[in-house]
Amino acid sequence: MNRILQFINLNHGEEDRKKVLENVTANTSFRGSNLWILACAIVVASIGLNVNSTAVIIGAMLISPLMGPIVGAGFGLGIFDFALLRKSLKNILIATLVSLAVSTIYFYLSPFKETQTELLARTAPNIYDILIAFFGGLVGVIAITRVEKGNPIPGVAIATALMPPLCTAGYGLAIGNFKFFFGAMYLYIINCVFICIATFIIIKYLKYRPVEQVNPKRQKQVRYAMTALILVLMVPSIYFAFKLYEEKKFNEKVNRYIESEFTSKGYTIIYKNTKYVSNPHTIEVAFLTKKFSHDEILELNEKLRRYKIDNSRLRIRQDTTDLKRDILNQIGSEKAAINEKDIAIANLKKQLQSSKIDNARILPEVKILFPAIQNISIAGHQFNEGTDSTKTVCVMLYKASKNLTEDEKEKLATWLKQKLQVKEMEIYGQLLAKPKTRRK
């Protein structure tokens, strides 16, 4: 048993406690460079939320110095250093106000105010966020008290996610959506409090010596205050987690019901929407061709109970004219685009085919008309003269035993235009080299 306890003992590899306290106290301050780093990190995180980029948000969390005063508050409570606690709380407040101001200004000035999924994810905290903050805080404090800090610190900064909720709260202020603001601030407070509580527990476990002797009454007051704060934060988050669980169960039952009653019977569903927040819950579906009578709809509503879908109403949209029109218009536009592509490809093929000239077939005819010509090469060339239209010119290169006169070239060009059905023809010639004679 002792060997097991020694194996999990946190005192092994512990940093000098005086040095740990000095580092924690130094990191609680928000002045000068720390304040500038915080403001820049807030802008980066806001941009990441604005463009829905997870990588950018993670980068902002890594450079954020927000963890410092929160851990400082936990240390202050753990060793009853109320001066450190007051300083940490003051700096948390400053950091929060600066972050809110910067993010609000950014989102107010940003032309893109669409609510992205990364923003929505920070507006409805639940019990899982408490667990993440608490266990992430435990890892962070354990790493701070070690000689070898290792890799946990960056991971804790990402997991506990202090920056995104503050930026989301600023977004809520910028667009005037106070539901977003309060939901994000609630998540931010949860993270702060439970990181602080995790720090308090580790400090007590490691038995850091209190800075000053406090009477038992004061210690009880601190414990009671922390217990009350934990309950105040946990009760709403447990409720939100329960509602999230219920909604997921509801959606699973609805999907199973639709699969059994409609999809498996060959009915094509063109629209489906579930509204869990309404009372009763609403399930809306529309079909491509199937029409249901009033009695059939009543029977389908009765079947909801068999799938344990309580307090719900099925609504079938029978008049799907608008939906069908939208679908057909989309199909029509896609088909038109495909047809345009086919026409363009056919025209290109036609142009390539027309520009392909059989020199071997034309050469014998040319030799009959102009015996001096021994070899030819004819090709069509397209070029743009600075306008949207292209011009095609045929060019003929020939080799002959003697030069053609201008009249002969003109006759040859006229004949080739008629033969090849082209409007432009250019002719260029070259004399064949005379063979060298050997002297005996």
Tens of pLDDT along 188-198? 888 888 888 88
pLDDT of residue 129: 81
Q: What percent of the chain has pLDDT over 70?
A: 79
The top-scoring range by mean pLDDT among 5-19, 70-84, 205-219, 328-342 is: 70-84
Q: Per-residue pLDDT averaged across 167-171, rounded?
A: 90
Question: Which of 300-309, 310-319, 345-354 has the least mean pLDDT?
Answer: 345-354
Whether 101 shows a pLDDT value over 90: the answer reads: yes
pLDDT of residue 328: 61
Whether 437 shows a pLDDT value over 70: the answer reads: no
Cα separation, 336 vs 107, in Å, equals: 40
The answer to whether residue 328 is domain-embedded is: no
The answer to whether residue 224 is domain-embedded is: no
- Reply yes or no: is the peptide bond before residue 280 cis, omega within 30 of 0: yes
The answer to whether residue 103 is domain-embedded is: yes
Domain's final residue, options 178, 199, 214: 214
The answer to whether residue 425 is domain-embedded is: yes
pLDDT band at 293 (very low <50, low <70, confident <90, very high): confident
Name the nearest CA neighbour of 89 among 71, 65, 103. 71
The answer to whether residue 189 is domain-embedded is: yes
pLDDT of residue 105: 92
Whether 220 shows a pLDDT value over 80: the answer reads: no
pLDDT band at 440 (very low <50, low <70, confident <90, very high): very low
The answer to whether residue 295 is domain-embedded is: no
The answer to whether residue 318 is domain-embedded is: no
Domain's final residue, options 170, 192, 214: 214
Q: What is the pLDDT of residues 354-387, one digit of tens each?
A: 555 667 778 888 887 888 888 888 776 655 555 4
Instruction: Decide which of 130 and 284 is more confident.
Output: 284
- The side-by-side arrangement of strands in the sheet containing 390-400 is 373-384, 390-400, 425-431
Domain's final residue, options 153, 187, 214: 214
Q: Per-residue pLDDT averaged across 277-293, rounded?
A: 83
CATH of the domain at 382: 3.30.300
Q: What is the pLDDT of residues 296-306, one digit of tens each?
A: 889 888 888 88
Cα separation, 349 vs 344, in Å, equals: 9
Note the pTM of the prediction, 2 decimals: 0.58
pLDDT of residue 388: 46
pLDDT of residue 187: 85
Cα separation, 80 vs 67, in Å, equals: 20
CATH of the domain at 82: 1.20.1080
378: which strand partners? Answer: 396
141, 142, 148, 154: CA torsion to nearest 10: -50
Backbone angles phi, psi at 317, to 5 degrees: -85, 100
Whether 10 shows a pLDDT value over 60: the answer reads: yes
The answer to whether residue 210 is domain-embedded is: yes
How many domains, the chain? 2
Would strands 281-287 and 425-431 be described as parallel, antiparallel, or unpaired? unpaired
Question: Which of 120-129, 137-146, 262-271, 318-327 has the least mean pLDDT?
Answer: 318-327
Q: 289 in helix, strand or coil?
A: coil
Q: Look over the chain and give the mean of its residue pLDDT values, rounded to a whole number.
A: 78
For residue 362, what are the domain limits?
Answer: 357-431
